[in-house]
Amino acid sequence: MQDKHYEVQNTRHAAYDINPIFLNRWSPRAFIDKQISDEILLSLFEAARWAPSASNLQPWRYILAQTKEEKQLFAEFILPANAEWCLNASVLALLISHTPTPSGGVNGSHAFDAGTSWGYLALEATRQGLSAHAMAGFDRDKARNLLNIPQEYEVHAVIAIGYHGNTESLSERNLEREQPSNRRSTVESLYKGTFGAAWTD
């Protein structure tokens, strides 16, 4: 895979051997208004399609905004701090998940599974030379009303998808944030046997 995200090379280093795609995936805010072909765009959702889910219920759904009019509708529920940069992306996608089970109960893993689907999408975007930035800064109730989302679906995130662009389009605040973030060490996320028991090599 050609590394189109050269910034990552100087900011992220894996402690253990992993595929570089995990380091190369990050969430920029600078996008260029360049159309994504349907074939490439659908490949992202093809990857999302193959995410695992409880009982294979596949609860995730994506509502896409590609045209100027569709993006302006999304802009009505996206917070201004996000709208100032994400509207430059080629595509916006709202991730929602279906909460009931076929028997009428509640699928307790619908959000977990939808998040996994987004993760698959994000990695495929990186493989295709695209960037995908998921954001929580939007009005969920307003999104539900404007997009006619039924109550049996939970609203999760807006995802900006597109080609990484020139940072000159960013405000000073966002320019300072336009770099891959690091992560805490692997073992800081691990407990041994019970909660709070530190992992030791």
pLDDT value for 201: 65
pLDDT value for 7: 56
pLDDT tens across the length of the chain (201 residues): 334 444 577 788 888 888 999 998 887 888 888 899 999 999 999 999 999 999 999 999 999 999 999 999 999 999 999 998 889 999 999 999 999 999 999 999 999 999 999 999 999 999 999 999 999 999 999 999 999 999 999 999 999 999 987 777 766 776 667 677 778 888 899 899 999 999 886
DSSP H/E element including 163: strand 153-164
pLDDT value for 176: 64
pLDDT value for 10: 72
Q: Is the pTM of this model over 0.85?
A: yes
Residues 107/99, Cβ–Cβ less than 8 Å = yes
pLDDT value for 4: 46
Distance CA 15, CA 98 (A): 37
Please count the other Cβ atoms lying within 10 Å of the Cβ belonging to residue 189: 9
pLDDT value for 169: 78
Please count the other Cβ atoms lying within 10 Å of the Cβ belonging to residue 64: 15
Distance CA 21, CA 18 (A): 8
